[in-house]
Amino acid sequence: MDTPLRKLYPWFTLLGLVIGCLVIAAFYKDQHREWKDWQRQYIKDELARASTPEQRSDAARLQLEVRQIVLPDLDRVDRCTSCHVAVEDPSYAGFPLPRSYHPNHDRHPFNKFGCTICHQGQGRATTRDAAHGKVEHWDQPMLDLKYVQSACAKCHLPGDIPEAPQLARGRAIFEESGCIGCHKLHGSGGVVGPELDAVGAHRSPEWLMKHFKNPAAVTPGSPMPPLKATDPDLDALTLYVLSFTGEPLSAYYVSMKTIPGPLAGRRLFEEKGCIGCHSVAGKGGTVGPALDEVAKRHNPEWISAHFRNPSAVSPGTVMPQFNFNEQEIRALTEFLLSLSDTNIVGFMKIPSLMTATERGKAVYKKYGCAGCHAAEGKGGIPNPNSKTAEQVPGLKFVSEGYTKEELKKRILDGQKEIPVMDPKRPPAPLYMPAWRGRIAEGELADLMEYLLSLAPKGEKVDF
């Protein structure tokens, strides 16, 4: 009876060996991680660089371990420092990646911010490709450094921070291009295109760039007209749109948006009537000095002190003491400093200083009219099969074709049905939305003022 069993014995041996090898292979694969190599090298360096006994004992205590920054408030665990082990050590400045020092993080300490909140990528991962997010099924690969400013908008208002000029530039282009005419953002905007609230979370920069240059190429059948802008401008726009992540952050982080910046300062500046005595861009009172270049004459501390008590820093001044609180003082100071910053002067204009036409131009921008009618109502945006030469009509000569009443009705009621050239072809994709209930009375008046001013002087066309 035992004889036939004997032929089973080699199989026991073979399968036993196979299983043994497989278990070893599984553990080898599991244990062999590249971060260990980087940390070994770091420990070697630390031991070599240690000069005092204290440093030597510190270096000797270093262990191979997964290093992580746990950020429950940001819903993140960032293990980037497992490889980027020296990001906090300035003596590693200039070392090759991943062991180099990360400069400029003093205001964003790693233990409070981690890495992926700005750089994106996959914080929990401990292999290079997975951590950098360049793997399948990870929607947020690491941001190219040229787009990294988009992350600032998670906590700061775009335009509020002079350190992120690209973000401010992107926002300005976004507003000038009239994106909001068709797309909804934070609850306001048109309904022709998709909402943009979380578009940055699942679109890549490459996709966005392609989309701006030729929307139909990435979204077949899209009626969106291509944007005519230079590549750097489109990069800035991409950066700004990438900042729409829709990611909910805890109060500690978003409170940055309520900490007064130049935008809040501008509002205060208007409310308190500063312009009665001071001038900006040549407009305003002459009792006090012009403020355009104030940042060049005084440092921020001086300006803040001046708001606290004007006569303390400039004796004999007639400026009254306003009893601003510290937040208001900070906001006003930021605002004054921003006046000399050309990057953000675009939307730092003070509405009460503008003429009705200028305000109308801002309204034109705010509601995204330029998205279809082009900047300054030049027209020329294609709208296939519409009777008006397959284009969205320009607005330069509305003053000749419409009375004020007709124009007002046209804006408020819109035109859903666009007359077509050829009834057999698909209808024109772009149409005039009704703005009733969405545009304020004063804004409408300003807008019409602007539209009627568009006609070039001395030119006439026949209708």
Interface residues toward another protein, by CB under 8 A: 1, 5, 8, 11-12, 15-16, 18-19, 22-23, 25-27, 29-31, 66, 75, 77, 79, 122, 124-127, 130, 137-139, 193-194, 202, 218-222
In the Cβ-directed half-sphere of 428, how many Cα atoms lie within 13 Å? 26
Q: How far apart are CA 138 and CA 122, in angstroms?
A: 8
Angle (CA) 182-254-107 rounded to 5° is 120
| Helix and strand numbers, DSSP H then E, in the chain | 23, 6
Cα-Cα end-to-end distance for the chain: 110
Enclosing H/E stretch for 4: helix 2-6
Q: Which is nearer to another protein, 23 or 389 (CB)?
A: 23
User: In the complex, what is the shortest distance from the CB of residue 25 to another protein, in angstroms, rounded to a whole number?
Assistant: 6
By C-beta, is 76 or 410 nearer to another protein?
Answer: 76
Closer by beta carbon to another protein, 38 or else 397: 38
Nearest approach in angstroms of CB 428 to another protein is 16
- Type of residue found at 430: L
Give the shortest CB-64-to-another protein separation in angstroms: 13
Report yes or no: 114 and 123 within 8 Å, Cβ to Cβ: yes
DSSP string covering 409-432:
HHHHH-BSS--BS-TTSPPPS--B
Q: Are strands 279-280 and 283-284 parallel, antiparallel or unpaired?
A: antiparallel
CB 340 within 8 A of CB 297: no
Q: 3-class secondary structure for 95-121?
A: CCCCCCCCCCCCCCCHHHHCCHHHHCC
Distance between CA atoms of 383 and 415, rounded to whole angstroms? 14
Beta strands 184-185 and 76-78 are unpaired
CB of 193 to another protein, least distance (A): 7
Identify which of residues 131 and 344 has a Cβ nearer to another protein in the complex. Answer: 131
In the complex with another protein, which residue's Cβ is closer, 26 or 93?
26
In single-letter form, the type of residue at position 343 comes to N
- The least distance separating another protein from the CB of residue 11, rounded to whole angstroms, comes to 5
CB of 217 to another protein, least distance (A): 11
Nearer to another protein, 125 or 372 (CB): 125
7: phi then psi, degrees, rounded to nearest 5 = -70, -10
Select 4 or 437, whichever has its Cβ closest to another protein.
Answer: 4
Alpha-carbon Rg for the chain in angstroms: 31
Smallest gap from Cβ 140 to another protein, in A, equals 10
CA distance 57 to 113: 30
Separation CA 242–CA 247 (nearest Å): 12
Which residues partner with 391 through β-bridges?
382
Residue among 15 and 254 whose Cβ is closer to another protein: 15
Minimum gap (Å) between residue 82 Cβ and another protein: 9
- Considering beta carbons, is residue 21 or 461 the nearer one to another protein? 21
Q: Which two tokens stand for residue 442?
A: 């004063």
Query: Shortest gap between Cβ of 425 and another protein (angstroms)?
Result: 19
Question: Is 253 or 322 the residue whose CB approaches another protein more closely?
Answer: 253
Rounded least distance, CB 66 to another protein, Å = 5
